[in-house]
Chain A
Amino acid sequence: MADTQQQEEELNFNFSAIDSEALAKIDYKMVTFNLAGKDYGIDIMTIREIARGDRFTYVPNAPDFVRGVYNLRGEIISIIDLRRFFGLEPQESSGPENILISRIGDNTLGIIVDSIDKVVGIDSRAIQPSHPLFADVNVRYIYGIVEKDDRLYIILDINKIFGDHHDAENLSAGEPSAASSFQAETQAAPADAPALAEVQAAPAAEKIQAEAQTAPAAEKKEAPDKAQTPETPYVYSRRTGQLWDDELVKAFSAIVPPKKSGYLHIWNPGCGKGYESYSLACAVLEAGIQAVPKIYAQDNDFAALSAAPGLSFNPDEADSIIKKHLVESPSGWRMSSEVKNMVIFEYRDLANKHVFPGLDMVVARDVVSFLKPEARDNFYAELKEMAQPGVILVLGDHEKRPMDENAWQPLTANGLSVYKKI
Chain B
Amino acid sequence: MKSNSDIPGIATKTPEGIRSGGGAYRVLVVDDSMFVAKQIGQILTSEGFEIIATAGDGEEAVRKYKELQDKIDLVTMDITMPKMDGVTALEKIMEFDPNAKVVMISALGRQDLVKKSLLLGAKNYIVKPLDRKKVLERVVSVLKNG
Please tell me whether chains A and B touch each other in their complex, using a CB distance cut-off of 8 A. no
Residues of B within 8 A of A (CB): none
